[in-house]
Structure 1
Amino acid sequence: MKDLFGQAMWDYQHGQYTEDLKTETTISEEDDLPVSYLFRTFAQMPPLEQQALQLARGRVLDVGCGAGVHGLYLQNERGLEVHSIDLSPKAIEVCHLRGLRNAEVQDVWQAKGQYDTILLLMNGAGMCGRLKQMGAFYTHLKTLLAEGGQILTDSSDLLYMFDQHPDGSYEVPLYFDYYGEVDYIVRYKGQEEAPFPWLYVDYNTLQNVAHAVGLDCELLAEGEHFDYLARLSH
């Protein structure tokens, strides 16, 4: 991987910002992602994100931490012990420069330890990439939960992006194994990342997977754009 997300964050941190990231999926056209958004403050975060950070407690694992916006708030404003992980070496370097104490390059599949809160934000519920991998993914996360622990995660139901029939049903092309499965493409400063799988999962599907692996699932809040915040727990 070229680590374009990490490079964009590194450039921004070092005062070398000149352009934004461009993102595209198999079901959406190219769009700009402002690099500044990856450095947002708590006040600039969407309400669902703010709610998740207010509900975090105890020892926290922040998965896919990026530039550390969630971890820094929990560490500095709420005094929590936060362990932040990301696949991007440059993102972790930025986290260290910004004062995040416990940040390391790590794949969540290799993570160990016990945590009271696991954060999967910015559509983290679909971090596993494909629906068929969700069971194994949440089974692994379950091993990282301390007694009484919680997983706070968000996602979006993409059904609204498809044509709706008069009877209320939606016209989803047959080539989709699941309509929330997409391939994600990132471009930055003339370079393009190889497409990688991502998953937007509706709440009912998330709930079914959670129950199948022995986790409770609670819908905490719904946003204005078919998005939601959920809590999974023992």
Structure 2
Amino acid sequence: MDILGKALMDYHNRSYTEEIITHSSLDEEDVLPLPYMFREYKQMPVLEQVALNHCKGEILDVGCGAGSHSLYLQKNGFNVTGLDKSPGAISVCKQRGILKTINKDFLGIEKMQFDTLLFLMNGIGIAGKLKNLDRFLNQIKLVLRPEGQVLLDSSDILYMFKADDDGGYWIPDDLSYYGEVTFKMTYKNEESEPFEWLYVDFNTLSRAANFNGMACELIKEGEHSDYLARLTFK
């Protein structure tokens, strides 16, 4: 069920009547405003703007969604390819004028290499669980050219858990890592299957990168426990 793709197509085709609602294992319900998915550069968070300004060479925009980042880069002369496993998202990207798209899961990319891999809007979250991060980093090493870079943003969501008087946090026993969250999306009375999503703090990301032979650099910290990082080969 391509709920994201259906919603993006509705908005693009001017059939916009409601938002996507997300439900998480953190007992939170939130709204994913569809207009936000079609934002221009000046409407993007600072971390995203900084990431776009650090792009170089041939770029793969992983989890491109409606293609706002790809479109900005393409308009500024970059050779960019938008990748998303949502057929609806890729259809919208094409209709918006993005010249190169791939409708595939990132792990399915073969025999292609890029100078910049872009994982924005917590794009590394597609790893799902911390134990899967090594697999994703190994895939990154296959797709990234020797002098290339990975630009990604994520968040340390420890603040979302209850703190005790000693400065510690109450983490549920069934979580191997507190950044592992399960989501569902609903849109126009349709509900997605549950899917896993990973928020990874910078120190954990840095350790995983180093274990896999990559350097991890903190480019910029955000105002809400979020950050922008760059991965390169050592």
Structure 1 residues 20-35: aligned runs within 5 Å: 20-35=19-34
Distance 2:50 2:66 in 1: 19
> SS of 1:169's equivalent?
coil
Give the structure 2 partner of residue 115 of structure 1: 114
Structure 1 consecutive aligned stretches of length 4 or more whose deviation exceeds 3 Å = none
Distance 2:141 2:45 in 1: 27
Q: TM-score, normalised by structure 2?
A: 0.97
Alignment-mate amino acid for residue 79 of structure 2: E
Give the structure 2 partner of residue 226 of structure 1: 225
- Deviation, structure 1 residue 61: 0.5
Distance 2:31 2:91 in 1: 24
- Count of residue correspondences: 232
Give the structure 1 partner of residue 67 of structure 2: 68
Of 84, 94, 97 in structure 2, the residue corresponding to residue 96 of structure 1 is: 94
Instruction: Give me the CA root mean square deviation.
Output: 0.9
Distance 2:179 2:204 in 1: 10
Give the structure 1 partner of residue 77 of structure 2: 79
Give the structure 1 partner of residue 57 of structure 2: 58
Give the structure 2 partner of residue 151 of structure 1: 150
Q: Deviations over 1:36-59 (max 9, x none)?
A: 011011111000011000001100
Give the structure 2 partner of residue 128 of structure 1: 127
Distance 2:14 2:170 in 1: 46
Alignment-mate amino acid for residue 212 of structure 1: F
- Deviation, structure 1 residue 165: 2.4
Deviates more, 1:11-20 or 1:123-132: 123-132
> SS of 1:217's equivalent?
strand
Alignment-mate amino acid for residue 142 of structure 2: T
- Deviation, structure 1 residue 168: 2.1
> SS of 1:198's equivalent?
strand
Q: Deviations over 1:123-162 (max 9, x none)?
A: 1122210111100110111111112100000111110011
- Deviation, structure 1 residue 166: 2.9
- Deviation, structure 1 residue 22: 0.4
Alignment-mate amino acid for residue 37 of structure 1: Y
Distance 1:187 1:9 in 2: 13
> SS of 2:127's equivalent?
coil
- Deviation, structure 1 residue 33: 1.2
Alignment-mate amino acid for residue 2 of structure 2: D
Of 100, 106, 127 in structure 1, the residue corresponding to residue 104 of structure 2 is: 106
- Deviation, structure 1 residue 185: 0.7
Distance 2:53 2:141 in 1: 22
- Unaligned stretches of 5+ in structure 1? none
Distance 1:11 1:48 in 2: 28
Give the structure 2 partner of residue 191 of structure 1: 190
Distance 1:183 1:82 in 2: 30
- Deviation, structure 1 residue 183: 0.6
> SS of 1:164's equivalent?
coil
Q: Deviations over 1:2-29 (max 9, x none)?
A: 1111000000111100101101110042
Distance 1:38 1:8 in 2: 10
